[in-house]
Amino acid sequence: MAIELLPQAFTPSFVSRQRRYAIAGTGIRGMSFAQAILNDFPNAATLAALYDPNRSRMKAFAKLLNAELPCYQEFGELVAESRPDTLIICTPDATHDQLIEMAFRYELDVIVEKPLATTLDKVAKIFRLEETYQRKVRVAFNCRYMPLFLELKKLLMTAPIGEIKSVNLEWSIDRNHGAEYFRRWHGQLSQSGGLLVHKSSHHFDLINWLLDDIPTHVHAFGSLQFFGPNSQFGGSHCRTCEHRLACPLVHQPDWEGMEPLYFQAEHEDGYLRDRCVFRREIDIFDTMNVSVRYRRGAQLGYSLVAYSSSEGPKLSITGTNGRIETEKFFRGSLREESSHTIRIATGVGKDFRKWEIEVPPAEGAHSGGDIRMFEHLFCETDANPWNQKANSDAGASSCLIGIMANQSIVSGKTEEIPSRDDLT
């Protein structure tokens, strides 16, 4: 079966006018958006201003970009002086609803980094804000733009395996990557919603998008098996820890911006970028298993482990007439390949057929997903043939799986996932 492959050489689309953007949250993810605006889409977008309660971090952020950028701690002043069209929100997850409300009050459009929100109340609030201000939120889901998953989406749209009934997604995070979540603000449930919201919203959205379906029920198990109090080591933060010479996960800054962006800014807000991954107050899970049921009857089995020795997803999709399997390899993978393979098998007996599609890996952050996502976000185009643009409904469908999975872990029961109508 011939499948059209996404070109690996990336060329930005033509745009008719520049839009002005402000970025709220001057951390590493905000840096990705800023670099895209300044370096990749200067004809489509202008970075008008930065917004962050921490002035030292904002100034370091602008210096690392080698750009003269206005820095604001007061949002009304930012809008009055810099006149942005759109606010890009890259702040801690639990603050997204607050920033969306501020932006809407000043008649700005919003792009929010995943997840949309961390609690039912915050999702409901965002829905109400959209209705009140008659504005819409776009959510940044870069998995939709990774060439491997885009080719899988295009394949599924031809229904080669019939009606999809079962999906299994196993996602492993290696322990060095996993440690990054536990040493930062993500390690507190109140700030991130845990990995089932912060990280898994990517993965849940991927499945929602591939299936083009709505999740309705979830049952989950979760525990803290490796990080937190599961070690002989433990302290406040790595730079002053008595165990730093022996600890296997002591923070090793590998980016020149770590010192100015975080360590030299911590005096303003007390945010320690190298907190101990074994500290006792961590209250999120590192081992999770989730079952999800969809409106049209498909079922998802999902697992996430944050301390593996290898990293990447394994995905299988089974339908009434066949099965599709694929894998993606990241750091420390058990297998390394020059391309990614989608394997398809259909029929049985004399009707059995199997074939493969090779998808060359793409260059760029997040397996080439970021640059393609940024094109859709920053270039004025209505083209959306594979439904990659994600609105608040998509953002809610993904984060609500995680929110209700967290609730299921506590209750021990299967939880119903509320709809927009239920929440508003």
Percent of residues, the chain, with pLDDT higher than 90: 84
Q: Which one has a higher pLDDT value, 17 or 404?
A: 404
Predicted confidence at residue 214, as pLDDT, reads: 98
Task: Assign 324 to helix, strand or coil.
Answer: strand
In the structure encoding, which two tokens stand for residue 260, read together? Answer: 């100015």
DSSP string, 28-41: HHHHHHHHIIIII-
Mean of pLDDT values over 354-366: 88
The yes-or-no verdict on residue 82 having pLDDT over 60 is yes
Length of the chain: 424
Rounded CA gap, 45 and 353, in Å? 48
Rounded CA gap, 135 and 144, in Å? 23
The yes-or-no verdict on residue 71 having pLDDT over 90 is yes
Mean of pLDDT values over 311-327: 96
Asked whether 324 and 193 are in contact (CB, 8 A), the reply is no
Predicted confidence at residue 7, as pLDDT, reads: 37
pLDDT in tens, 289-315: 999 999 999 999 999 999 999 899 999
The yes-or-no verdict on residue 97 having pLDDT over 80 is yes
This prediction has a pTM of 0.93
Predicted confidence at residue 382, as pLDDT, reads: 77
Mean of pLDDT values over 327-341: 68
The yes-or-no verdict on residue 5 having pLDDT over 90 is no
Predicted confidence at residue 256, as pLDDT, reads: 87
Q: For residue 88, what are the contacts with CB-CB under 8 A and spacing of at least 6? A: 21, 22, 23, 24, 30, 33, 111, 112, 113
- pLDDT level of residue 332 (50, 70, 90 thresholds): low
**Per mean pLDDT, which range of 56-65, 188-197, 336-345 is the poorest?**
336-345
pLDDT in tens, 127-172: 999 999 999 999 999 999 999 999 999 999 999 999 999 999 999 9
Q: For residue 286, what are the contacts with CB-CB under 8 A and spacing of at least 6? A: 178, 182, 195, 223, 224, 225, 226, 227, 228, 305, 306, 307
- pLDDT level of residue 363 (50, 70, 90 thresholds): confident
Rounded CA gap, 159 and 3, in Å? 13
Domains of the chain in start order, with CATH, are 19-140 (3.40.50.720), 143-227+282-365+390-423 (3.30.360.10)
Asked whether 23 and 30 are in contact (CB, 8 A), the reply is yes
Q: Which ranges of 39-188 would DSSP assign to H, the alpha helix?
A: 55-65, 75-82, 96-105, 120-133, 147-156, 175-183
Rounded CA gap, 204 and 394, in Å? 10
Output the CA angle 119-125-129, nearest 5 degrees: 150
Rounded CA gap, 280 and 43, in Å? 49
Mean of pLDDT values over 60-87: 97
Q: For residue 370, what are the contacts with CB-CB under 8 A and spacing of at least 6? A: 32, 36, 142, 145, 364
Rounded CA gap, 195 and 114, in Å? 12
Q: For residue 147, what are the contacts with CB-CB under 8 A and spacing of at least 6? A: 5, 6, 8, 359, 360, 361, 362, 367, 368, 372
The yes-or-no verdict on residue 53 having pLDDT over 90 is yes
Q: Letter for the amino acid at 41? A: F
Q: Using N-to-C axis directions, what is the helix angle for 200-211 and 147-156, rounded to 10°?
A: 30
The yes-or-no verdict on residue 48 having pLDDT over 90 is yes
With residue 398 as reference, give the H or E element that holds it.
helix 392-411
Rounded CA gap, 79 and 99, in Å? 13
Cross-strand partners of 343:
325, 356
Predicted confidence at residue 14, as pLDDT, reads: 45
Mean of pLDDT values over 352-373: 89
How far are the Cα atoms of 53, 59, 171, 254, 265 from residue 258, in angstroms, in the given order? 18, 13, 28, 8, 10
Predicted confidence at residue 331, as pLDDT, reads: 62
How many C-beta atoms lie closer than 10 Å to residue 76's C-beta?
A: 11
In the structure encoding, which two tokens stand for residue 365, read together? Answer: 């952050």
